[in-house]
A and B are shown apart, each in its own frame.
Chain A
Amino acid sequence: MNIRILILALITLPFAVSAQVTEPPLPLTGAPPAAAVCIACHSSEMIDSQPRLTEAQWRATVLKMKAAYGAPVADKDVDDIARWLTAHQTGSGQAAARQGRLP
């Protein structure tokens, strides 16, 4: 089975009914197709609840998911996903961290 079909199934599945707790969707506008894999193993709050991270920190996170958790991310897609995650965080209006960021 193709991983893309699997992910599509995950994204489009009705996760819950009516007023129950539902998995929030991950808005994939402008996302590289490979980014959809992020929510194969965890729901999107894990992305949206993070503090403002630098692209280098997001890249390290993607590489960790690939190396340690076996996420099927091709080497060529790592930078695209990290760039999109960084932009997604800015685009979702998250306030810039008042506290210092990691260098």
Chain B
Amino acid sequence: MDRFAPSRRHFMGLLGITAAAAVSGLRAADVQLPFDNGKRQLVEGFEGKGRMILQRTRAPLLETPFEVYDNGLLTPVDRFYVRWHTASAPRQIDTAAFRLNVHGHVERELSLALADLRSLPAREVTAVSQCAGNSRGFSDPRVPGAQWGNGAMGNAVWRGVNLRQVLDRAGVKAGSMAIRFRGLDAAPPHFGKSLGVDIARNDDVLLATHMNGQPLPWDHGFPLRLVVPGWFATYWVKAVSDIEVLTTEDDNYWMAKAYRIPATPDGSTTPGAPAGATTPISTMPPRSFVTNVRDGDRLRAHSQHAIRGIAFSGKAAIRRVEWSGDGNTWHRCQIDGEGGVYGFRRWHTQIPVGAPGGQQLLVRATDAAGNVQPLHAGWNPGGFMRNAVESLNLVIA
């Protein structure tokens, strides 16, 4: 029998979802993402958001318009990108009845109410959440999936309890191999992601209740969201309600089949090559962007122009940001102090603008572990983990 067996309950569920899809929002304008078939609607007020690029109405895929990244280091909640796989997460949650269950290879199973979690000490971490498929639309050759521009990323202050406190209450037994997190979006294939025990016990991994000082809204994972600083957002399970300690590798779809990259040093392969070994995607390699100048902008000839942007790496703190006009000679930019290890870092510099015509502007980031953005983008079948040097073509007049 098919797993998608329609039932009255299912029917009502779908009606509920479609009714919710009518949540008000005004169409503002169209925007052209810089790749084929990249025309999208800009909408305002949809899902309670400010102006966003509408990638998909149901289940919501909303992209942050790029100018937002020039406004400040933190991405406002109402401009923060949204990515759901299925439309099955409940929009209304009975907070008194909600429980976070911890089970599997543990000394004591737990069933924690939100009040239990509130009684634990909370902490804050500033960290970038970036979709594994951010910038997929630039894949060459193109690959199927959500056709994001560069706006499936955001930086926020996340507040919550350290996951380790919860794991220690349950008592993770020796011989545990992975810890799996599941959320309330239970439509098949039930979403779940796993972390190794050492990763899950890191000080900075949170069960977050707030972002940027506000309670998590529905679309960012109310009432609890796993925050795994440095790791791609696929691990940041929203509306997390179930933690299971496993003694084997997690064989669920989202680990064993989806969100995998070639097991090569940079996660890339040759288009059309036979499928080789793959591994689950994990931490984010460095990226940097110019935020105050866009591709195709006009600059005044024979002048100095102030440029600024953002940089981040999930593997180590940002150590260096450089700009180049030709991809060969690189010049250091100044990096501002604020931002922390996991967040966006602001950088700025002055570039000389030459004679009328065209001028290229490239930026690249290097982190403290020596990871540096490659000049040319790698390719993989999922369109994951793009982090090539960004290149702008400027018009000098």
Residues on A facing B (Cβ under 8 Å)? 1-3, 6, 9-10, 13, 15-17, 19-24, 40-43, 45-46, 49-53, 57, 61, 68-72, 94-95, 97-103
Contacts and interface: CB of A to CB of B under 8 A. Distances in A.
A102 B141 CA distance: 6
**Interface SS, A side:** loop
B56 A46 contact: yes
Contact of A99 (B2, B11, B140, B258): B140
A99 B58 contact: no
Contacts of B24: 16, 20-21
Contact of B14 (A23, A40, A52): A40
B27 A51 contact: no
Interface in B341-397: none
B6 interface: yes
B87 A20 contact: no
A1 B8 contact: yes
Nearest to A19: B26
Contact of A21 (B2, B25, B189): B25
Closest 5 CB pairs of A and B: A51-B142, A70-B3, A21-B25, A16-B22, A43-B57
Interface in B103-151: 137, 140-144, 146-147
Contacts of B162: none
Contact of B144 (A40, A61, A94, A100): A61
A51 B142 CA distance: 7
Contacts of B55: 45, 49
B213 interface: no
A10 B22 CA distance: 13
A50 B25 contact: no
Nearest to B189: A68
B20 to A, nearest CB: 10
A89 B45 CA distance: 30
Contact of A16 (B15, B21, B189, B272): B21
Contacts of A19: 26-27
Given A49-B37, A71-B4, A99-B36, A17 B140 contact: no
A58 B109 CA distance: 44
Contacts of B87: 41-42
Contacts of B37: 49-52, 94-95
B177 interface: no
Given A22-B57, A98-B36, 14 more contacts: A15-B57, A16-B22, A20-B22, A41-B87, A43-B58, A45-B56, A50-B37, A68-B253, A70-B4, A70-B188, A97-B141, A100-B140, A100-B141, A102-B141
